[in-house]
Amino acid sequence: MANKNCWEAKECGREIGGPKTVELGVCPASKEIKLNGANNGKNAGRACWVMAGTLCAGKIQGTFADKMRACMDCEFYTAVQKEERDDFTNTPKLKAMLG
- Domain boundaries of the chain, sorted by first residue: 6-98
Q: What is the pLDDT of residues 6-35, one digit of tens each?
A: 999 999 999 999 999 999 899 999 999 999
Distance of CA 34 to the CA centre of its chain: 13
Please choose, from the candidates 21, 18, 99, 27, the residue with its C-alpha nearest in 3D space to the C-alpha of residue 60. 27
Q: Torsions phi, psi of 60, nearest 5? A: -75, 130
Beta-bridge partner residues of 56? 59
CA dist 46 and 62 (Å) reads: 18
Q: List pLDDT tens digits, range 45-64.
A: 999 999 998 988 778 888 88
User: Using the 8-state DSSP alphabet, how is residue 13 labeled?
Assistant: S
pTM more than 0.85:
yes
